[in-house]
Amino acid sequence: MQARHGSSLLFWRVLFPAGAALFLAGMAFRSEPLRPWATPPHLLLAAGAILLLIWAEMLLGKRFPALRPYLYLQPTFLLLIVFCYIPPIQALLRAFYRWKQSGVAEYIGLDHFRYMLHDTDLHQSFINLAQLGILQVILTVSVPLGVAELIFAVRSSKARYWYRLLLIVPMIVPVVVIFLIWEYLLNYDVGLFNRVLLKLGMDPLGWFKDPRMALYCFVLMGFPWVSGVSVLIYLAGLDNIGEGVLESCQIEGARFRQRFLHIDLPLLRGQIKLLSVLSVIGTLNGWVAQWVITKGGPGNATLMPALHMFLQGMRFDYMGYACAIGLVLFLLVVGLTYLNMKLLRSERD
């Protein structure tokens, strides 16, 4: 604890200022410097208007103290309304429009949803999602539980601390880098896996290029499916079980398997539910890996609904249709979240 405090002092007193100085120097001397004054004039005007407004409001706040909290919350709500409320609401509306990136919008009623019934790519993407989701949930819920039990059983508290910390490290690496590493590992021509197969005298496999395998490669990418956060959540649950219960287990002479089945599993039910719902929602939201590595291919073997939506809007300029798919997915997410809340609430009672 002391040592860690010392290192953070070193960080804030020495490394952080040094890094900031280096950064500013780099910014000043690079070929294309930052030019805040090069922003479009209407933005500067807007900023000036906002400053004037703030000044007027400060006067107002002095006259009417009851208004103050509302005035204080304005900057946050201004940002939220523009960047967080308007876009999703517009998405819900534009699902019923033909909408192009040029800005042309034309009301077409339920046509998009009718088209969805015939969009075989979309159907395939939901089948892919279901397959991926089921595998993902099973693996990302069970494996971290095993690892958490293992760490929990280790006697030395220092070792426990280090294991937890080391499992967090992969989460700090940018996800794009992790996707690209796996793209290499499973590459047909140069990948590590195929080189190992060749060395063992076997034929190389197609991995991402094989339509039958490609989807499962995305499950393999999670290997060994030990997400640091899930392990942390389980460990917190195990810590909550309490010394007394565990001690009485020991006194009664319960074996590990008995304790796991009759004490840990029932008491960790909340964590298991939470993680399974989070992992379902994570699969729904996780389409960037497919976009980076296969673009949904070969054919539509690795297409995800959200990826289909992105490609429809970006590649083919059918933004209205993209919004319609987004609406359907959103309803799915809301349903799952509702389920999540309900399960969690019943757990708390």
Partner 1 sequence: MAVSSRRREVLKHGLMGAILIAVFFPFAVLLINSMKSPYQFWHTEPWEFAFPLHLVENYRYGLAKIWPALLNTTFYSIVVCGAVVVLAAFSAFVFARFRFRGRELLFGLIIALMMVPGFLSLFPAFMLNKYLGLLDSRWVMILPYVAAGQVLGIFLLRVFFESQPAQLFEAARIDGAGDFQMFWHVGVPLCAPMMATLAIMNALALWNDLIWPYMTLGDTAKWPVALAIFNMFQDGGISWGTLFAAYVLASLPLLILFFFASGYFVRGLSSGALKL
The yes or no reply on residue 209 touching partner 1 (CB under 8 A) is no
Return the residue of 126, 163, 188, 260 that touches partner 1, per CB under 8 A: 163
The yes or no reply on residue 91 touching partner 1 (CB under 8 A) is yes
Given its phi and psi angles, is residue 105 left (phi above 0), alpha (psi -120 to 50 degrees) or beta? Answer: beta
- Dist CA 142 CA 170 (whole Å): 19
* DSSP 3-state percent helix, strand, coil across the chain (nearest 5): 75, 0, 20
The yes or no reply on residue 98 touching partner 1 (CB under 8 A) is no
The yes or no reply on residue 175 touching partner 1 (CB under 8 A) is yes
The yes or no reply on residue 324 touching partner 1 (CB under 8 A) is no
The yes or no reply on residue 334 touching partner 1 (CB under 8 A) is yes
Q: How many CB atoms lie within 10 A of CB 186?
A: 23
Return the residue of 2, 37, 59, 66 that touches partner 1, per CB under 8 A: 66
Residues in binding contact with partner 1, number by CB under 8 A: 104
CB of 176 to partner 1, least distance (A): 5
Describe the crossing of helices 228-241 and 269-285 by its angle, rounded to 10 degrees: 170
Q: Which is nearer to partner 1, 99 or 218 (CB)?
A: 99
The yes or no reply on residue 339 touching partner 1 (CB under 8 A) is no
The number of angstroms, rounded, from the C-alpha of 134 to the middle of its chain's C-alpha atoms is 17
Return the residue of 116, 197, 213, 232 that touches partner 1, per CB under 8 A: 232
Q: 262-321: which residues touch partner 1 (CB under 8 A)?
A: 278, 281, 284-285, 287-288, 291-292, 306, 309-310, 313-314, 319
Query: Which segments of 74-176 are extended strands (E)?
Result: 97-99, 105-107
**What are 232's two structure tokens?**
């942390």
**What are 175's two structure tokens?**
């996800």
The yes or no reply on residue 168 touching partner 1 (CB under 8 A) is yes
For residue 106, give the 3-state DSSP assignment: strand
Return the residue of 138, 178, 205, 267 that touches partner 1, per CB under 8 A: 178
For residue 154, give the 3-state DSSP assignment: coil
Q: Name, in order, each residue with C-beta under 8 angstroms of 187's C-beta and a sequence gap of 6 or more.
A: 194, 207, 208
- Dist CA 148 CA 237 (whole Å): 10
Task: Name the segment binding partner 1 (CB under 8 A); options: 106-114, 219-227, 247-255, 265-273.
Answer: 219-227
CB of 296 to partner 1, least distance (A): 14
CB of 254 to partner 1, least distance (A): 16
Show the DSSP H helices in 154-242 as ranges: 157-168, 175-185, 192-199, 214-220, 228-241
Q: 28-57: which residues touch partner 1 (CB under 8 A)?
A: 30, 32, 34, 39-40, 42-43
Return the residue of 171, 202, 245, 339 that touches partner 1, per CB under 8 A: 171
